Amino acid sequence: MFIIDFFLDIANYFIKHIDKISTYTFEHFVLIIIAIILSLVIWLTVGIAIRNNLGLAKGVLGIGSFIMSVPSIALYGILVSVPGFGLSRRSAVFGLILYAMLPIVRNVYVSLNQVDENVMEAAKGMGLSTRQVLFKVQLPLAMPVILAGIRVALVMMVGIATLAVYIGERNLGSLIQQGIVRTYDDMIIVGAILVSVMAFLVDYIMGKVQKAIVSPGLITDTTDSSTSKREVA
Amino acid sequence: MDIQEAFEVLNQQGWKLLVQHLKLVGISLSLSIIIALVLGISVTRYPFNKWMPQIVSFLNAAQGVPSLAVVAIFLPIMGVGVLPAIVALTLYGLLPIARNTIAGIEGIDPDILEAAKGMGMPSRDVFWKVELPLALPVIIAGIQTSAVLIVGTAIIADLIGAGGLGRLIFTGINHYKPFITLLGSLMAAGIAIILDQGIGFIQRRLTSAYRD
């Protein structure tokens, strides 16, 4: 009986507050979409720019893993005390972009450099310019690894975005935050479940996207650096 | 004025909270390491290795659960205090270690194991002298990930009454005292970075020892 009551309470809360919950979910998506678009523009460019420069790449990736080891709420804490950022969406987005740096830049850099020398040589021999080699040969071949990086970044963002409620965002994290403040258990549980479901969904969808975009010939060697990948939420 | 106040807070409670934070991290990380190693190693052994793919995909999926959700879910179950925080941190922290333990042991070249068995090593020796040393760098990388994760999640654990540096950060945010937030954030970031670099250093030492 207890278990049934428990689930009924949760379902009840969910149905009663469906308006608020859908607004929060929407806001959560908007924040992540803004952050991932900006991250892609910035970090893909950076990754491509450093592809032939080992020294620079080491520096950039060092900064990335340094940022990655800063706890996200601490990074937000530091960001809000910077004049010009403060309690605003700007801080929330900027924090997310910083965390996306390592997974995206590292995967772009590593995968571009993994492209077989002979393939590059053949492309050059056929008269392709450096630019054409990059866009027509290197990037398509590197796509599986780059997408894997974006996938890691996105799943991480879903989690970190929940913490942005403490610096003024309103999203699914708000359910947890307000639930804790009001000791309203149903609210906490609904929030926690929805946030987790969202993370799984994003991961699942990205898995499908990966399969759809990547050329079938490359599917077998989807290099997933999952053993060494480092994520912090 | 603000800075002065922040330093006053630091003198009054800052160090106490720092020690509290370190205790939280220390206890949870040690428990995580022990449980994850036992779990990870037993998953690669005979009766349990049937379920390995399921367990690995579960570990991967569980990793996606946001830290705030993990901490929050223990509030309705176990109430407020240090104990639920330690349970939440331990459970969250053991995921990367267990995953890397399994990946590290599974990643060993089967020929090497075959050779060890062929030389007449009993399976106990194969484990202690071949499998574990070869998997160690990967396992330690998992511990590194976990340490950073636990330091960050321990901040959030203050929301369920665990204390620690999260108290400074959230007090600062709630009362709009940016310097107090900054202070807590910098200390927490410092711990995370020191742990990360320290464990990374140990890992590199171990790895290079095997390369020589």
Tell me how many residue pairs between chain A and chain B have CB atoms under 8 A apart.
148
pLDDT for B115 equals 92
pLDDT for B212 equals 43
B57, B68, B139, B193, best to mutate vs chain A, most A CBs in 10 Å: B68
A95 close to B (CB below 8 A)? no
Domain ranges of chain B: 2-211
Higher pLDDT, A233 or A41: A41
Token pair of B201 as six digits: 């250093």
Residue of A nearest to B70 (CA): A192
Chain A closest-CA separation from residue B182 CA (Å): 5
Q: In chain B, what residues touch A226 (CB-CB under 8 Å)?
A: 60, 99, 103
A13, A61, A70, A73, best to mutate vs chain B, most B CBs in 10 Å: A73
pLDDT for A44 equals 94
A184 close to B (CB below 8 A)? no
Cβ–Cβ gap B72/A179 under 8 Å: yes
pTM: 0.83
pLDDT above 80: residue A216: no
CB under 8 Å to A122, separation ≥6 — which residues? none
Q: Please give the mean pLDDT across all residues of chain A.
A: 85
Interaxial angle between packed helices A185-213 and A139-163, expressed in degrees from 0 to 180 and rounded to the nearest 10: 170
pLDDT for A49 equals 93
Domain ranges of chain A: 2-220
CB A115 within 8 A of CB A133: no
A70 close to B (CB below 8 A)? yes
Residue with tokens 């969904």: A201
Cβ–Cβ gap B69/A72 under 8 Å: no
Q: CA A195 to CA A158: how far, in whole Å?
A: 7
Mean pLDDT of A181-196: 87
CATH architecture of A2-220: Orthogonal Bundle (1.10)
Mean pLDDT of A15-31: 90
pLDDT for A214 equals 78
pLDDT band at A93 (very low <50, low <70, confident <90, very high): very high
Token pair of A114 as six digits: 């993994």
Chain A closest-CA separation from residue B188 CA (Å): 7
Cβ–Cβ gap B73/A167 under 8 Å: no
A13, A68, A227, A231, best to mutate vs chain B, most B CBs in 10 Å: A227
Chain A closest-CA separation from residue B93 CA (Å): 11
Among candidates A78, A188, A196 on the partner chain, residue whose Cβ is nearest the Cβ of B185? A78
pLDDT for A184 equals 84
Residue of A nearest to B101 (CA): A227
pLDDT above 60: residue A222: no
Q: In chain A, what residues touch B25 (CB-CB under 8 Å)?
A: none
CB under 8 Å to A141, separation ≥6 — which residues? A111, A115, A116, A119, A218
Q: CA A127 to CA B205: how far, in whole Å?
A: 46
pLDDT for B143 equals 93
Among candidates B103, B141, B184 on the partner chain, residue whose Cβ is nearest the Cβ of A77? B184
User: What topology does CATH give the domain B2-211?
Assistant: MetI-like fold (1.10.3720)
Cβ–Cβ gap A195/B68 under 8 Å: yes
Residue spans of chain B under pLDDT 70: 1-2, 208-212
CB B200 within 8 A of CB B144: yes
pLDDT for B92 equals 92
Q: CA B72 to CA A191: how far, in whole Å?
A: 9
Residue of A nearest to B144 (CA): A230
pLDDT above 60: residue A43: yes
Mean pLDDT of A29-50: 94
